[in-house]
Amino acid sequence: MTNLTPVPAANNLLNNPWIRSFMNSRWFPGIIQWPTLLVFMLIMFELLLGPSIAHDNFGTALTWVLWWPIIPILFLFLGRFWCAICPFATLNDLVQKFVGNNRPVPRFLKKYGIWIIDALFIFITWSDHVWGVVENPLGSGVLMLTLTTGVIFSGAFWERRTFCRYICFLGGLSGNYARAGMLQLRGTPEICATCTIAACYTGTEKADGCPLFEFPKTMTSSANCNICANCIKNCPNDSIQLTLRPPTKELWFIRKPKIEEAFLSAVIMGIVFVQNVTMLEVWGSILAWLEKVTGTTSYYVTFSITFVVAMLIPILLLGLASRVAQKFNGISLFENFTRFGYAIIALDMAGHIAHNLFHLLAEGKSIIFTGMALFGQTLGHDLNPAILDMGSIQMLQFGLIGLGLIGSLYTAYRIARASYAPEKLWGTFVPFAVLMVILGVINFYLFVLPMAMRM
Amino acid sequence: MNQSVTKTLFLLSAVFMIALVFPASVLADGGGEGSVEFSQTIDGYKVTLIFEEPPVVGENPVHVQVVDETGLPVAGAVVEVSMVARKPEHKEPSPSAHGDAPKKPAPAVSTGHGAMSDKDAPVVAPTEAQPDSHDDEPADSHPEMEMTTLEAGHDAGEYAGHITIPGAGEWNIRVHMTLADELTEIDFPLDVAGSLTGAGILTGFAVFNVAILFAAAIFKSNRT
C-alpha cells in the first residue's frame, strides 16, 4: 500500500475532523438513507391509498410541495447528494445485495443513456399535464411505482446503480445542476498519478466502488458524483478532496461537451416555461384560443402544441445564437450549440427554483394540514396554506431569476474566453448574451403574471 | 434446471404477471350501459341533468331539461354547468382516519382514469340533489372548474353540451340557470371512483416486481 503525503487543498472540507470522521463512518450515508426510505414508503401509502384529492393528500404535499421545490436547491449547494440518499438508490442496493446478477451495463445504455433520460423527462412532464401526476395522487403513485419497477429490474440484473446513472429521469437534471453546484469531489492529481490500486473504483471491504461508475483519479465533472463517500472510505492515500467552489465554475471548462447534455439544458428551460404558463390565470384563455385555432377541444392536442412550442423556443433561440456566433468564431453551429448550451443551466436552476418556490411558500402549510389529517386532526378546509405573502414570493422569484441570468451570462463569457482566441471572444459571447437576456426576460414576465395554486 | 427452461418459465411468469398489472374494473352493482339522470325541482322549475352515458373521468356529453310547474318545456334560459369539488362532511376525528372523505350511501360510478378509461360502467342511482347547497360556504372554499355553456338542443327546454370531469373523487355538478335575469343554481352530487383503485395497482406492481426478483434469483443461482 502506498503511503504518500497528501497535498491539502486550501478549502478541503475533509480537513475538518468532524466532516472527515462523519463521511468515513459506516453510518454515512445510511443514517440519512433509511429514514428517507421510510418517508418514501409513507408517501407511497398516501398516494395510492390516501385521499384521492391532491388538496387533502399528505403524499402529494410531501412530494410536490416540499421535495420537488427543495431538490434543485440541494443540487446547488450539495451537488448530486440527493442521489446518495434517494430511496430508489437504497432499494437498488438492497435488491442487488440479495438477488443481483451484476451484469455489465448494456452498450445501448452507455451510448444513448442521456438521450433516454432526456426523452423520459420530457415524457413524464407531458404526461403530468395530460394524464395527471402532480394534481392526482394516484397518478403520482403510478409514476413512483413505475420508477420502482425500473430500479428493481436494474438492481436485479445490472451492476452498481445503472438505473441512477443511465435511466433515471431525474439523473440528467441532477447531473446538469450538479455541474453548476458548489460542492466538488475530486482526487488529488499528484497522489492519484502514482496510485495503481484504484480502490476508489473497484471498492474494498470498507465500501463498494463508486456506484455511478466514476473514477476519481480522472474525474473532471460532478455530474455523476453523488457524494456517497465510498471513495473517501476506500482510498488508501487520502487523495479525495471535497471542496467548495463558485456556482457554475465547472461549466466554464467543460472538456468534452455533449450535445445531449446541451440539448437537455435547453429543454429544461422550455419545461420551466410550460410549467409556468399552465399555472397562470391566463392559461384558460390561451387554451380557448388554441381550441379555436385547432378546431378541437382535446387537451391532448392543445397542450401538446403548447408543450412543443415551449420547448422549441429555447432550442431554436440557442440554435440561432449559435448560427450568429458561427459567423464570428468560424466554429460549426453544432459545436457552438453544444458548448454554449451548458450556459443556460444557471437560468434553468433559477427558473426551476423560482417556480417551485411559489408552491413551497404559497402552499407550504398544506404539508402540516394534510399531515395532521393523518392523525385525524382537521384544522378546517379554509385555512391559508401560505408561509409568505405573494409580494414577498415574487420578490424572491425576481431575485432568483436575476441571479440565474447573471450566472448564465458569466458562464457564457467564461466559456467563450476559455474556448476561443481574444479576437473572437466578443463576437462569440454577444449572441449568447442576447440569448440569455431574452430567456431571462421571458422568465421575468412569466413570474409577473398571477399564478394558480397546486394544492 | 437448464437455462432455456428457466428462461421460458421466467417469460411465462412475466407475461402472466403483466396480465395482472392492469386489472379491468369490477363493480358489484349490476351491469349495462345507459344514461344517468339527476332531477330536482326548485322555484317551480324541474331541472333534469342527464348524462347520455355513465359519467367517466374526462369529457362527458350531457343535456339539461327544464320544465315549468305545468310540465311545459322552458326555452330561452341560459344554462351553464360546472364541476365543484365537494366539501367532505365534518366528522369526529378517529384514530384510523387518514383524511379520506366519508363514504357515501350511494354506490360510486365506475370511471376511467386518464388513458385507462373503462366506459362499461353500470348505471347508478343518483344521489339527492342539493339546491343552493353552498350558500353557507365561504365563496372561495371549493375551487369551481370553468363553466361550460350548454347550447339549445333539438327539443324545446333542452340544453346540450359537454362537461369535463377532472378526476376521481366527490363532486357537485352545478347547474347555473339564468331565466329572466334571475340566476338559479342547483348542485347534483356525483361520486366518481377510479376504475383502477390504488390497492389494485399496488398489488399488480408488487406481483410484477416479485416476478422480477424471482427471475433474478434463478438467473443468479444458475450462474454461480
Q: Can you give the CATH number for the domain in which B156 is found? A: 2.60.40
Q: Pick from B73, B75, B38, B66: which is nearest to B180 by CA?
A: B75
- Count the domains in chain B: 2
Same domain membership, residue A185 and residue A205:
yes
Contact criterion met (CB < 8 Å) for A381 and B141: yes
Give the pLDDT confidence of B47-96 residue by residue, as tens digits.
Answer: 999 987 778 777 788 889 999 888 899 988 999 999 888 755 433 333 33
B112 to chain A, any CB pair closer than 8 A? The answer is no
Verify that A346 and A363 share a domain, yes or no.
yes
- In angstroms, rounded to a whole number, what is the distance separating the alpha carbons of residues A146 and A13? 38
Is residue A168 domain-shared with residue A187, that is, in the same domain? no
Please tell me if residue A297 touches chain B, with a CB cutoff of 8 Å.
yes
CA distance A445 to chain B (A): 25
Q: A28 and A91: one domain?
A: yes
pLDDT at B33 over 50: no
Q: Is residue A324's pLDDT more than 80? A: yes
The pLDDT of A380-401, averaged and rounded, is: 83
* Whether residues B45 and B6 fall in one domain: no
**B109-111/B78-85 β-pairing:** unpaired
Residues B188 and B121 both lie in one domain: yes
If asked whether residues B55 and B67 sit together in one domain, one would say yes
ipTM exceeding cut-off 0.90 for this assembly:
no
pLDDT at B196: 60
pLDDT category of residue A186 using cuts at 50, 70 and 90:
very high
Name the grid cell of A48: 395510492
Contact between chains at B114 and A132 (C-beta distance less than 8 A): yes
In a domain, A3, yes or no: no
- Strand B58-67 and strand B158-165: the pairing is antiparallel
Assessment of whether the complete model's pTM goes beyond 0.80: no
pLDDT tens by residue, A92-125: 999 999 999 999 999 999 999 889 999 999 999 9
Q: Do A245 and A339 lie in a common domain?
A: no
Contact (CB<8Å) B201/A145: yes
Domain termination residue (choose one: A250, A266, A281): A250
Q: From the centroid of its chain, how far is CA A401? A: 17
Residue A264 forms part of a structural domain: yes
Q: Look at A139 and B215 and tell me if their CB atoms are within 8 Å.
A: no
Q: How far apart are CA B105 and CA A147, in angstroms?
A: 37
Per the domain annotation, does A434 fall within a domain? yes
Question: Could you tell me the pLDDT band of residue A50, with boundaries at 50, 70 and 90?
Answer: confident
Residues A314, A404, single domain; the answer is yes
Q: Are residues B122 and B140 in the same domain?
A: yes
Please tell me the predicted confidence (pLDDT) of residue A5: 43
CA distance A41 to chain B (A): 12
Going by C-alpha positions, the residue among A146, A137, A147, A143 that lies closest to residue A48 is A137
> pLDDT band at A443, cuts 50/70/90?
very high
> Do B104 and B207 lie in a common domain?
no
Higher pLDDT residue, A167 or A279?
A167
Residues A237 and A266 in one domain: no
Name the DSSP class of A278: T
Enumerate the β-bridge partners of residue B160: B63, B151
Look at A303-317, A433-447, B83-97, B196-210 and tell me which has the smallest mean pLDDT: B83-97
Q: Nearest Cβ partner of A51 from B100, B113, B217? A: B100
A128 and A38 within one domain: yes
Nearest residue on chain B to A455, judged by CA atoms? B143
Residue A4 Cα, gap to closest chain B Cα (Å): 39
Rounded Cα gap, residues B219 and A18, in angstroms = 44
- Give B102's contacts in chain A (Cβ within 8 Å): none
Q: Which of B59, B84, B98 to mutate to test the interface with A (most CBs of A within 10 A)?
A: B98
Size of interface A-B (CB pairs under 8 A): 108
Q: Are B152 and B209 members of one domain?
A: no
pLDDT at residue A91 in the model: 96
Residue A123 at interface with chain B, using a CB cutoff of 8 Å: no
Statement: residue B136 has pLDDT above 50:
no
The residue range of the domain holding A371 is 256-448
Structural domain count, chain A: 3
> What pLDDT sits at residue A382?
61
Percent of chain A with pLDDT over 90: 72
Q: Is residue A235 situated within a structural domain?
A: yes
Do the beta carbons of residue B26 and residue B210 sit within 8 Å?
no
DSSP state of B63: E
* A283 at interface of B, judged by CB pairs closer than 8 A: no
Interior CA angle at A169 toward A53 and A344, to 5°? Answer: 105
Interface of B with A in 10-39 (CB under 8 A): none
Provide the pLDDT for residue B138.
Answer: 40
Could A48 and B202 be called an inter-chain contact, meaning their C-beta atoms sit closer than 8 Å?
yes
Surface-to-core class of residue B215, CB atoms within 10 Å of its CB (0-12 exposed, 13-18 middle, 19+ buried)? buried
* Same-domain status, B5 and B104: no
Which amino acid appears at position A391 of this protein?
G
Q: Which residues of A touch B165 (CB under 8 A)?
A: none
Quick one: closest CA in A to B204, which residue?
A145
Instruction: Measure in Å the smallest separation between the Cα of A377 and chain B Cα atoms.
Output: 6
Q: Is A155:A91 a contact under the CB 8 Å cutoff? A: yes
pLDDT one-digit tens code per residue, A51-99: 877 878 899 999 999 999 999 999 999 999 999 999 999 999 999 999 9
pLDDT at A234: 95
Contact state of A53 with B219 under an 8 Å Cβ cutoff: no
- Domain containing B1 equals 1-23+197-224
Residue B9 has pLDDT above 70, yes or no: no
* B209 and B141 share one domain: no
Rounded to a whole number, what is the distance in Å from the CA of A181 to chain B's nearest CA?
35
